[in-house]
Amino acid sequence: MESTRKNSKKIGIILLFFILLITLTIYGSMQLIIFFNDREKQATKEQLTKDGINLHQVRNIQETEETNEVTVNSIEQEVLDVMNKMTHQFVIADDKWGAVEMTPERIDQLTEIVSVNDYPNKERILSILEKWKKGNFETVDDDHNVIWNMQDGNIGEAKGVMSEKEQEAFKKNNFTKEEAKNHN
Protein backbone atom coordinates (compact mmCIF):
# COMPACT_ATOMS: atom_id res chain seq x y z
CA MET A 1 0.00 0.00 0.00
CA GLU A 2 2.86 2.30 0.93
CA SER A 3 4.64 1.70 -2.39
CA THR A 4 1.43 2.31 -4.34
CA ARG A 5 1.08 5.68 -2.64
CA LYS A 6 4.70 6.55 -3.44
CA ASN A 7 4.17 5.50 -7.09
CA SER A 8 0.96 7.57 -7.30
CA LYS A 9 2.79 10.55 -5.84
CA LYS A 10 5.66 10.12 -8.34
CA ILE A 11 3.20 9.82 -11.23
CA GLY A 12 1.36 12.93 -10.00
CA ILE A 13 4.60 14.90 -9.79
CA ILE A 14 5.70 13.73 -13.24
CA LEU A 15 2.26 14.55 -14.68
CA LEU A 16 2.33 17.99 -13.06
CA PHE A 17 5.83 18.55 -14.47
CA PHE A 18 4.69 17.68 -18.02
CA ILE A 19 1.60 19.89 -17.74
CA LEU A 20 3.82 22.76 -16.61
CA LEU A 21 6.29 22.05 -19.43
CA ILE A 22 3.50 22.03 -22.04
CA THR A 23 2.02 25.25 -20.64
CA LEU A 24 5.38 27.01 -20.72
CA THR A 25 6.03 25.77 -24.27
CA ILE A 26 2.67 27.12 -25.47
CA TYR A 27 3.23 30.44 -23.69
CA GLY A 28 6.75 30.77 -25.12
CA SER A 29 5.51 29.99 -28.63
CA MET A 30 2.80 32.66 -28.34
CA GLN A 31 5.36 35.22 -27.17
CA LEU A 32 7.59 34.42 -30.15
CA ILE A 33 4.68 34.81 -32.56
CA ILE A 34 3.78 38.19 -31.04
CA PHE A 35 7.42 39.30 -31.14
CA PHE A 36 7.88 38.43 -34.82
CA ASN A 37 4.52 39.98 -35.79
CA ASP A 38 5.56 43.24 -34.10
CA ARG A 39 8.92 43.18 -35.88
CA GLU A 40 7.17 42.59 -39.20
CA LYS A 41 4.77 45.49 -38.59
CA GLN A 42 7.68 47.77 -37.66
CA ALA A 43 9.58 46.77 -40.80
CA THR A 44 6.50 47.50 -42.91
CA LYS A 45 6.14 50.94 -41.30
CA GLU A 46 9.79 51.68 -41.99
CA GLN A 47 9.42 50.62 -45.62
CA LEU A 48 6.51 53.04 -46.02
CA THR A 49 8.73 55.98 -45.10
CA LYS A 50 10.61 57.89 -47.79
CA ASP A 51 12.55 61.11 -47.23
CA GLY A 52 10.99 61.49 -43.77
CA ILE A 53 7.45 61.14 -45.13
CA ASN A 54 5.14 58.33 -44.03
CA LEU A 55 3.73 57.23 -47.39
CA HIS A 56 0.73 55.53 -45.78
CA GLN A 57 -0.39 58.81 -44.21
CA VAL A 58 -0.04 60.90 -47.38
CA ARG A 59 -1.48 58.49 -49.98
CA ASN A 60 -4.36 59.55 -52.22
CA ILE A 61 -7.64 58.87 -50.43
CA GLN A 62 -10.00 60.84 -52.65
CA GLU A 63 -13.46 59.39 -53.18
CA THR A 64 -14.42 60.29 -56.72
CA GLU A 65 -17.95 58.92 -56.68
CA GLU A 66 -19.07 60.84 -53.59
CA THR A 67 -19.90 64.52 -53.50
CA ASN A 68 -18.65 66.57 -50.57
CA GLU A 69 -20.78 69.64 -51.17
CA VAL A 70 -22.88 70.96 -48.31
CA THR A 71 -25.58 73.63 -48.28
CA VAL A 72 -27.74 75.35 -45.69
CA ASN A 73 -30.12 72.40 -46.12
CA SER A 74 -27.45 69.85 -45.15
CA ILE A 75 -27.92 67.84 -41.99
CA GLU A 76 -25.31 67.92 -39.22
CA GLN A 77 -23.84 64.54 -40.22
CA GLU A 78 -23.08 65.84 -43.74
CA VAL A 79 -21.26 68.86 -42.29
CA LEU A 80 -19.34 66.63 -39.86
CA ASP A 81 -18.39 64.30 -42.72
CA VAL A 82 -16.86 67.20 -44.68
CA MET A 83 -15.07 68.53 -41.59
CA ASN A 84 -13.71 65.06 -40.81
CA LYS A 85 -12.33 64.77 -44.36
CA MET A 86 -10.84 68.27 -44.09
CA THR A 87 -8.74 67.18 -41.09
CA HIS A 88 -7.20 64.28 -43.03
CA GLN A 89 -4.58 66.58 -44.59
CA PHE A 90 -3.22 67.17 -41.07
CA VAL A 91 -3.73 64.06 -38.95
CA ILE A 92 -2.01 60.73 -38.44
CA ALA A 93 -4.51 57.86 -38.37
CA ASP A 94 -4.46 54.17 -39.23
CA ASP A 95 -7.39 54.65 -41.60
CA LYS A 96 -8.68 57.71 -43.44
CA TRP A 97 -11.57 57.74 -45.89
CA GLY A 98 -11.88 60.67 -48.23
CA ALA A 99 -10.24 64.07 -48.33
CA VAL A 100 -11.63 67.57 -48.69
CA GLU A 101 -9.16 70.42 -48.94
CA MET A 102 -9.16 72.78 -45.98
CA THR A 103 -9.48 76.26 -47.47
CA PRO A 104 -10.51 79.60 -45.91
CA GLU A 105 -13.51 79.65 -48.27
CA ARG A 106 -14.67 76.22 -47.19
CA ILE A 107 -14.26 77.10 -43.49
CA ASP A 108 -16.34 80.27 -44.08
CA GLN A 109 -18.98 78.28 -45.97
CA LEU A 110 -19.26 75.71 -43.17
CA THR A 111 -19.39 78.45 -40.53
CA GLU A 112 -22.32 80.07 -42.38
CA ILE A 113 -24.16 76.75 -42.75
CA VAL A 114 -23.71 75.78 -39.10
CA SER A 115 -24.66 79.28 -37.89
CA VAL A 116 -28.08 79.23 -39.58
CA ASN A 117 -28.97 75.71 -38.45
CA ASP A 118 -29.99 74.28 -35.08
CA TYR A 119 -27.62 71.34 -35.01
CA PRO A 120 -27.31 69.44 -31.70
CA ASN A 121 -23.53 70.08 -31.64
CA LYS A 122 -23.68 73.58 -33.11
CA GLU A 123 -21.51 75.32 -30.49
CA ARG A 124 -18.79 72.66 -30.53
CA ILE A 125 -18.67 72.71 -34.33
CA LEU A 126 -18.50 76.52 -34.46
CA SER A 127 -15.72 76.53 -31.88
CA ILE A 128 -13.63 74.17 -34.04
CA LEU A 129 -14.32 76.17 -37.19
CA GLU A 130 -13.34 79.39 -35.40
CA LYS A 131 -9.96 77.88 -34.48
CA TRP A 132 -9.42 76.79 -38.06
CA LYS A 133 -10.45 80.21 -39.38
CA LYS A 134 -7.64 81.71 -37.26
CA GLY A 135 -5.19 79.20 -38.78
CA ASN A 136 -4.86 77.27 -35.52
CA PHE A 137 -4.26 73.62 -36.40
CA GLU A 138 -2.05 72.71 -33.42
CA THR A 139 -4.77 70.48 -31.96
CA VAL A 140 -6.39 69.41 -35.25
CA ASP A 141 -5.96 65.78 -34.17
CA ASP A 142 -8.12 66.48 -31.12
CA ASP A 143 -10.61 68.36 -33.34
CA HIS A 144 -10.72 65.34 -35.65
CA ASN A 145 -11.47 63.03 -32.74
CA VAL A 146 -14.22 65.32 -31.40
CA ILE A 147 -15.83 65.28 -34.86
CA TRP A 148 -15.18 61.55 -35.20
CA ASN A 149 -16.88 60.91 -31.84
CA MET A 150 -19.90 63.03 -32.88
CA GLN A 151 -20.09 60.70 -35.89
CA ASP A 152 -19.91 57.64 -33.60
CA GLY A 153 -16.59 56.70 -35.22
CA ASN A 154 -14.90 53.44 -34.30
CA ILE A 155 -12.08 53.16 -36.88
CA GLY A 156 -9.69 55.93 -37.86
CA GLU A 157 -9.01 57.77 -34.62
CA ALA A 158 -6.35 60.46 -35.05
CA LYS A 159 -3.09 59.70 -33.24
CA GLY A 160 -1.21 62.92 -33.88
CA VAL A 161 -0.44 65.65 -36.41
CA MET A 162 1.64 65.00 -39.52
CA SER A 163 4.83 66.96 -40.13
CA GLU A 164 4.63 69.96 -42.49
CA LYS A 165 6.48 67.90 -45.10
CA GLU A 166 3.87 65.13 -44.83
CA GLN A 167 1.02 67.66 -44.98
CA GLU A 168 2.45 69.10 -48.22
CA ALA A 169 2.81 65.60 -49.70
CA PHE A 170 -0.78 64.80 -48.72
CA LYS A 171 -2.05 67.99 -50.40
CA LYS A 172 -0.04 67.21 -53.53
CA ASN A 173 -1.37 63.64 -53.69
CA ASN A 174 -4.98 64.54 -52.99
CA PHE A 175 -5.70 68.09 -54.16
CA THR A 176 -3.38 68.80 -57.09
CA LYS A 177 -5.03 68.55 -60.48
CA GLU A 178 -4.06 65.46 -62.49
CA GLU A 179 -2.46 67.57 -65.25
CA ALA A 180 -0.13 69.23 -62.73
CA LYS A 181 0.84 65.85 -61.22
CA ASN A 182 1.72 64.45 -64.65
CA HIS A 183 4.00 67.40 -65.53
CA ASN A 184 6.09 67.08 -62.33
Q: How far is CA 142 from CA 20, 90, 99, 119, 175, in A?
A: 48, 11, 18, 20, 23
Residues 133-184: pLDDT tens digits?
999 999 999 999 999 999 998 888 999 999 999 999 999 988 887 534 443 4
Residue 81 is predicted with a pLDDT of 94
d(CA 162, CA 96): 13
Rounded distance, CA 130 to CA 35, Å? Answer: 45
CB 115 within 8 A of CB 125: no
Mean pLDDT, to the nearest integer, of 92-104?
91
Nearest to 50 by CA among 183, 173, 140: 173
* pLDDT tens column, 5-51: 778 888 888 988 889 889 989 988 888 888 777 666 665 555 466 66
For residue 148, the model assigns a pLDDT of 94
In 3-state terms, what secondary structure has residue 36?
helix
pLDDT score, position 76: 96
**In this predicted structure, what is the pLDDT of residue 181?**
43
Helices in 52-177 by DSSP H: which ranges?
A: 55-58, 76-87, 104-115, 122-133, 140-150, 164-175
Measuring CA to CA, how many Å separate 26 from each of 20, 30, 33, 148, 153?
Answer: 10, 6, 11, 40, 37
Give dist(CA 167, CA 53) in Å, integer.
Answer: 9
Burial class (CB in 10 A: 0-12, 13-18, 19+), 155: exposed
Question: What digits encode the pLDDT tens for the residues 38-92?
Answer: 666 665 555 466 666 666 676 666 655 456 789 999 999 999 999 999 999 999 9
